């Protein structure tokens, strides 16, 4: 019943949600000469740099992968998808603080805020990942039909990110150190995830610790699809899926119970 009520509220306020996403996108490039062209130029430059430096200059190779673009694709698959996770969690942890005036002055379903955060991040991700997909096709490295398996992994990743983000967002209203701590923590989390290095180079005892990192399995699933053109090991994603469900449930529970207190605190 609660889920139906939540979706019903979102549907009634769909204009508010879509308008907020549109304003956020437009404000990012307001007063720039090239405008929305930067949404293409910035990620395109990043993909080209990764390709030229890591494939051509540094001549990096992945173990068991003979492609000249293997390491670049591995790196982009990790960094681009980690960027989505980092953007959702970082924005979600500050969404109530940044929208304090809106929360005080306007009556609307508060669940709209995390949805707006997710949609904004997905718009940015769609642009940059779309360009990356074009690169895969142009370079002859497109993985084929297995590419569609990215969708359930993306859904899992978004659920994990927004669940964690909602928990952090509520806590950050009452304990402002939470946001500061997470900004430091996520940097260590990035380097503890096989993104710029393959997990196979780690010592066995360190590699075993990756089982405690839910994002390791998610990122490795993207890399398996995009680099090896193979289906991921779905069982490895089960802990991340369970954690995502728990975080979403906890985030919604905190959200419902503390909504009134948050407005007073803000």
| Number of independent structural domains in the chain | 1
For residue 29, tell me if it sits in a domain: no
User: Cα–Cα–Cα angle for 164, 91, 122, nearest 5°?
Assistant: 90
For residue 14, tell me if it sits in a domain: no
For residue 247, tell me if it sits in a domain: yes
One-letter-per-residue 3-state SS of the chain = CHHHHHHHHHHHCHHHHHHHHHHHHHHHCCCCCCHHHHHHHHHHHHHHHHHHHHHHHCCCCECCECCCCHHHHHHHHHHHHHHHHHHHHHHHHHHHHHCHHHHHHCCCCCCHHHHHHHHHHHHHHHHHHHHHHHHHHHCCCCCHHHHHHHHHHHHHHHHHHHHHHHHHHHHHHHCCHHHHHHHHHHHHHHHCCCCCCCHHHCCHHHHHHHHHCHHHHHHHHHHHHHHHCCCCCHHHHHHHHHHHHHHHHHHHHHHHHHHHHHHHHC
For residue 102, tell me if it sits in a domain: yes
For residue 16, tell me if it sits in a domain: no
Task: Render pLDDT for 1-18 as a digit per residue (tens, 0 to 9).
Answer: 556 767 776 777 777 788
Domain containing 108 equals: 38-265
For residue 33, tell me if it sits in a domain: no
Share of the chain above pLDDT 70, in %: 83
pTM of the model: 0.88
For residue 6, tell me if it sits in a domain: no
For residue 23, tell me if it sits in a domain: no
Task: Render pLDDT for 35-80 as a digit per residue (tens, 0 to 9).
Answer: 556 666 766 777 777 777 766 665 556 776 767 778 888 888 998 9
pLDDT value of position 39: 64
């Amino acid at each position: 019943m609660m889920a139906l009520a939540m979706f019903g509220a979102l549907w009634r306020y769909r204009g508010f949600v879509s308008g907020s996403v549109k304003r956020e996108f437009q404000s990012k490039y307001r007063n720039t000469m090239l405008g929305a062209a930067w949404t293409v130029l910035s990620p395109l430059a990043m993909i080209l740099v990764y390709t030229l430096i890591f494939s051509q200059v540094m001549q990096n190779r992945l173990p068991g992968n003979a492609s000249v673009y293997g390491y670049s694709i591995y790196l982009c698959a990790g960094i681009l998808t980690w960027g989505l996770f980092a953007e959702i969690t970082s924005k979600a942890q500050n969404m109530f603080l940044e929208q304090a005036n809106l929360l005080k002055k306007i009556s609307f379903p508060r669940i709209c805020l995390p949805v707006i955060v997710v949609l904004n991040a997905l718009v940015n991700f769609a642009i940059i990942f779309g360009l990356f997909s074009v690169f895969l096709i142009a370079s002859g490295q497109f993985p084929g039909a297995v590419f569609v398996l990215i969708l359930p992994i993306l859904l899992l990743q978004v659920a994990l990110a927004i669940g964690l983000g909602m928990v952090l967002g509520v806590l950050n209203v009452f304990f402002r150190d939470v946001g500061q701590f997470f900004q430091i923590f996520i940097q260590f989390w990035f380097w503890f995830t096989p993104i710029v290095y393959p997990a196979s180079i780690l010592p066995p005892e360190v590699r075993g610790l990756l089982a405690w990192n839910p994002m390791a399995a998610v990122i490795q699933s993207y890399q398996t699809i995009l680099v090896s053109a193979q289906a991921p090991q779905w069982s490895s994603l089960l802990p991340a899926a369970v954690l995502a469900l728990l975080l979403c449930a906890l985030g919604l529970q905190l959200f419902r119970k503390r909504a009134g207190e948050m407005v007073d605190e803000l």
